[in-house]
Structure 1
Amino acid sequence: MPKGSLPAVDSEIPGAFMALDPATHAFFLDVDGTLIDIAPRPDAVVVPSGLPDTLFALAARAKGALALVSGRSLASLDDLFGAGRFAAAGVHGADIRLSAGRPSERAPALDEDLRHDLRTTAAEFEGVLAEDKENAVAIHYRARPEIAPVLKRALAQLVGRRQGIEIMPGHCVFEVRRQGIDKGAAVGRFMATTPFAGRRPVFIGDDVTDEAGFRAVNRAGGIAVAVGVPRDGAQALLPNPRSVRALITHLAAEPRQRRR
Structure 2
Amino acid sequence: MPTNAALAVPPLSPPLALPERPALFLDMDGVLAPITATPGGVGPDGRRTRVLSRLLERFDGRLAVVSGRTIAEIDRICEGVVPCVAGIHGLERRGADGQVQRLAPHPDMAQVLDALLEFARDRPGILIEDKGLGVTLHYRQTPEQAGAAGEFARALAETHGLTLQPGDMVQELKTPGADKGRALTAFMEEAPFKGAVPVMTGDDLTDEFAFTAAAGLGGFGVLVGPPRETAALYGLTGPEAVMNWLETLTERP
Cα distance change, pair 52–7 in 1 and its aligned pair in 2 (3 A): same
Partner of 2:73: 76
How far does residue 219 in structure 1 lie from its aligned partner after superposition?
1.1
Post-superposition shift, 1:20? 1.4
- Matched residue, 1:195: 192
Give the superposed CA RMSD: 2.1
CA positional deviation for 1:47: 4.0
Within a 5 Å distance, the mapping from 1:9-158 to structure 2 comes to: 16-17=15-16, 19-20=17-18, 24-83=21-80, 85-99=82-96, 102-110=98-106, 111-158=109-156
Paired residue for 1:13?
none
Kept in 2: contact 1:84–1:102 (CA 8 A): no
Unaligned residue ranges in structure 2 (runs of 5+): 1-5
Point out the more displaced range, 48-57 or 217-226: 48-57
How much has 1:123 moved relative to structure 2? 2.8
- Aligned equivalent of 1:237, options 223, 235, 238: 235
Alignment correspondent of 2:3: none
Distance in 2 between residues matched to 1:63 and 1:5, nearest whole Å:
33
- Whether the 8 Å contact between 1:8 and 1:239 is mirrored in structure 2 is no
Q: 1:131 is aligned with what amino acid?
A: E
Q: Deviations over 1:147-179 (max 9, x none)?
A: 21211112223222223x121100001110122
* Alignment partners' CA distance in 2, 1:147 and 1:27: 36
- Flag structure 1 segments of 5+ consecutive residues without an equivalent: 10-15, 256-260
- Relative distance call for 1:194 and 1:181 in structure 2 (3 A) is same
- CA drift of 1:2 comes to 8.5
SS in structure 2 of the partner of residue 246 of structure 1: helix
Native 8 Å contact 2:45 2:77 kept in 1:
no
Q: Which residue of 1 aligns with 2:157?
A: 159
Give how far 1:48 is off: 3.3
CA contact (8 A) 2:42 2:77 kept: no
Report the counterpart of residue 252 of structure 1 in structure 2.
250
Q: 1:130, 1:140 within 8 Å by CA — same for their partners in 2?
A: yes
Matched-pair contact (CA < 8 Å) for 1:56–1:86: no
Deviation at 1:6, TM superposition (A): 9.3
Rounded Cα–Cα distance in structure 2 between residues aligned with 1:114 and 1:34: 29
Instruction: Find the residue that maps to 1:160 and give its secondary structure.
Output: helix
Taking the aligned partners of 1:105 and 1:186, their CA distance within structure 2 comes to 11
Does structure 2 retain, via aligned residues, the 8 Å contact 1:95–1:107?
A: yes
The answer to whether 1:173 aligns with 2:178 is no
TM-score in terms of structure 1 length: 0.87
Aligned mates of 2:52, 2:26 — CA distance in 1: 10
2:8 is equivalent to residue 3 of structure 1: yes
In 2: Cα distance, 1:180 partner to 1:204 partner: 22
Q: Distance in 1 between matches of 2:32 and 2:129?
A: 21
Whether the 8 Å contact between 2:133 and 2:174 is mirrored in structure 1 is: yes
Provide the rounded CA distance (Å) in 1 between the counterparts of 2:80 and 2:242: 22
Q: Percent of counterpart pairs with the same letter?
A: 33
Residue 202 of structure 2 aligns with which residue? 205
Letter in 2 for 1:92: H
> What amino acid maps onto 2:42 in structure 1?
V
Amino acid corresponding to residue 184 of structure 2 in structure 1: V
Number of equivalenced pairs: 245
